[in-house]
Amino acid sequence: MQQHDRATTATFQQWFAERSTSERATVTRLWALTKNTISAQTNVIDAFLRPDVVNSLLASLKPHTRAALTRVQEYGNAIPRAVLEREFGTIRSYDQYPNPRTYLLALSHPSSATERLWILGLIQLLHIGTVPMYVIPADLQPLLPTVPLREHTLQLQPGPEPATVYQSSPHTIENYVLICLDAAQQGLLTYTATGHLNKTSLVNLSKHWDTHLDMQDVTREEHWPYVSLLRAILEDAGLLRSSADGRVLPTRAALDWMRLPQIGRIRRLLAGWSGSSWDELVVLEKIHFQRAYNRDLSQTKDTILTLLTQIAPHQWINLADFITETQRIEPDFARPDGNYDCWGITDRFARPLDGFTYWEDVEGQQLRAIITYTLHWLGLIDLGFEGNSVSHFRLNYMGAALLHDEPWTDMTPKEALIVQGNFEVLVPMYATLFVRFQIRRIAEHIQQHETSTYKLTRKSVQQAVEQGISVENMLRFLSEQSGRNLPQHVVVTLQEWGQQTTRLSLQRAVLLEADDPLLLEQIKHDRRVRLPQVEAITDKIWALQEGDGPTLATQLHKAGYGLMGDTTTSNTPLRKHDLTILFAALEFYATACTMLETENDASNALRRRVAKLLSDKQLHRAYRISSVALQQLEKQLCNEESHISHEKQT
């Protein structure tokens, strides 16, 4: 009986009609249909679909085969091929036999419960999307006994409070987010070619961390998992972005995020983690995936969060029990297709971890890492320890609010800042994130205690003006956030410092110089030369916009004026469209090489140089073109991997 994979659900009647004469005879014999039973029906297929015939067939099945059919029903009449075969065996391939007769003879003695059901036509092998599934034919489903769907409920009992408890607070991660955003605002963070923070950026962050850090062995972002997580979350949440030259900058959305209530801020960070590519198994457990093209990490994270909604808030749950229960009711949360043999997984010692046998080492470790690190860092989960190991966990108030929609009231007081006459600004511990971020943009940090001290200086004010913050906006911010009138001499001094900034400006220009002032006057009145807007520096030198230089040089040559000097412009001779495509191709090449784990010659410096030649609009278009192409590449690789895996299985 040759295997026929379908793309859509078929009926038993369609399946039987497609069989050869010898195959139909084999199926009829295996169903134990007599000639009298068949002759009593106008249509042969009607004999198969009689309730008494189906019941008789079910009664003849061995317990293990009957259990396999029940398992398919528990999955809603459609189960991933790998999941069923993991427990009940595989089906033999038609290609393994020299001729159809030999194959049919072999099928008379099925090698597994799965093969027995497949031979009988009780299940069909179909492709739903990209996943091969065993499906019970639609016209057979009403004739089978009703089976409850598989259980999805965790059976967990709360335990006593552990001897050692580590409580988490959302304030902690918010403080570190503020440090990252502030460092990005100051231009202290830069990406590597792979999109991670470089060594200098990590050192810059460590200077503002509130705990002592030994940075000697920290040379890459992966050596500092907490910062690696923050960077990934802030990027996916839209709070950080990359500039054309590789610098990391805060977005306008970051200011909106700071104004949200605390539960809204943490919800945004949680969504950023769920949607990001940050992988606990790779970063924390040092597990390597060679061929996980169809791995949906975001879906996996969402499934884990859904499982955690079953846990009652504020009750201590044994971590090992939670992992065991997850394996019982939702073992394939990370690999819904049930295929555990195609990702090429190895641990930190290069030992293979493919196969369901290593579920605890992969899925179990993923659950453990997400609970004890990520969700604890996000302020949703408290941890209980036995010795040096985490033994229990519980959803705290923030976790209950986000996962159970429990009411949340932020009891943290909101304190106003104080602007003193000596130009110092006192920022209390409970000042809002928005205030703490904005004050760093206009004042220098002097002292860090429960109440932080900043000072308004000429340098800080002028730097803020250069960044586009007007003195009027600074004064308005200080007045509104302090809730009182500012000292008059502070107002006057800030205005004076701001005015000093606008007295100097630095510009690029092209100079047209003549040895005789009369020659410039002649050019000015020459109708053959369409003179652009110029500014007289002296009676012999004019300044004009850099972009007008090449056009003016061409007109002067045509009018017969001799011209010496460099008439080229710093702009590239390529058209803007050409540059956009060139940069998109460069990004595609560099990112594809990273995905394929191969070396590439597209340095970060080269990418920055090309990016500088494009406007923001062109850069956005180039990134979009590259992203679409990369998605197609990843999809193609995934399809090829699935095809290869399917061929191996069949």
pTM of the model: 0.74
- pLDDT for 502: 63
Other C-beta atoms within 10 Å of 290: how many?
11
Given a cut of 50, whether residue 150 has pLDDT beyond it is yes
pLDDT at 5 > cutoff 60: no
pLDDT in tens, 247-271: 899 998 999 999 999 999 999 999 9
Q: What was the pLDDT predicted at 553?
A: 86
Does the structure show a pLDDT above 70 at 567?
Answer: no
Lowest mean pLDDT among 37-51, 407-421, 460-474, 618-632: 37-51
Which of 8-12, 56-60, 190-194, 386-390 has the lowest average pLDDT?
8-12
Reply yes or no on whether the pLDDT at 400 is more than 80.
Answer: yes
Q: Do 244 and 152 meet the contact criterion of CB atoms below 8 Å apart?
A: no
Q: What does the pLDDT look like over 278-288, one tens digit per residue?
A: 999 999 999 99
Alpha carbons 399 and 266: distance in angstroms, whole number: 10
Residue 523: HSE in the Cβ half-sphere, 13 Å Cα cutoff: 26
pLDDT band with cut points at 50, 70 and 90 for residue 430: confident
Tell me: pLDDT of 7 over 50.
no
What does residue 535 show for φ and ψ, rounded to 5 degrees? -125, 125
Question: pLDDT tens digits for 461-488?
Answer: 988 888 888 899 999 999 999 988 999 9
Mean confidence (pLDDT) of the chain: 87
pLDDT digits (tens, 9 = 90+) for 22-36: 888 888 888 888 766
The answer, yes or no, to whether residue 568 has pLDDT greater than 70, is: no
Percent of the chain with pLDDT over 90: 52
Per-domain boundaries in the chain:
12-143, 164-404, 418-501, 510-558, 576-649
- Read off the tokens for 401: 């609010």
- What six digits make up the tokens of 237? 């949440």
325-356 per-position pLDDT tens digit: 999 999 999 999 999 999 999 999 999 999 99
Q: How many Cβ atoms are within 10 Å of 336's Cβ, its own excluded?
A: 17
Which structure tokens are listed for 256?
């909106």
Residue 407, pLDDT score: 83
What's the pLDDT at 42? Answer: 56
Is the pLDDT at 41 greater than 80, yes or no?
no
Give me the helices (H) in 443-564, please: 458-466, 471-482, 488-501, 517-524, 549-558
Burial 457-467 (b: 16+ CB within 10 A, else e): eeebbbbbbee
pLDDT, position 37: 60
193 Cβ contact list (under 8 Å, min separation 6):
590, 594, 602, 603, 604, 607
- Asked if pLDDT for residue 100 goes beyond 90, the answer is no
Query: So what's the pLDDT on residue 572?
Result: 45
Cα–Cα distance between 133 and 130 in angstroms, integer?
9
Q: How far from chain centre, in Å, is Cα 8?
A: 31
Rounded mean pLDDT, 309-317: 95
Give the whole-number percent of the chain exceeding pLDDT 70.
91
Q: For the ranges 56-65, 124-133, 606-615, which has the lowest average pLDDT? A: 606-615
pLDDT tens, residue by residue, 349-394: 999 999 999 999 999 999 999 999 999 999 999 999 998 999 999 9
pLDDT higher than 70, residue 6: no
The mean pLDDT value for 45-58 works out to: 90
pLDDT of res. 533: 86
How much is the pLDDT for 393? Answer: 98
d(CA 363, CA 367): 6
Total Cβ atoms within 10 A of residue 402: 24
pLDDT band at 587 (very low <50, low <70, confident <90, very high): confident
Q: Tell me the mean pLDDT in the region 625-639.
A: 81
Query: Could you tell me the two tokens for 525?
Result: 């009145």
Residue-wise pLDDT tens digits, 496-544: 988 887 666 667 778 889 888 898 889 888 888 888 888 888 988 888 8
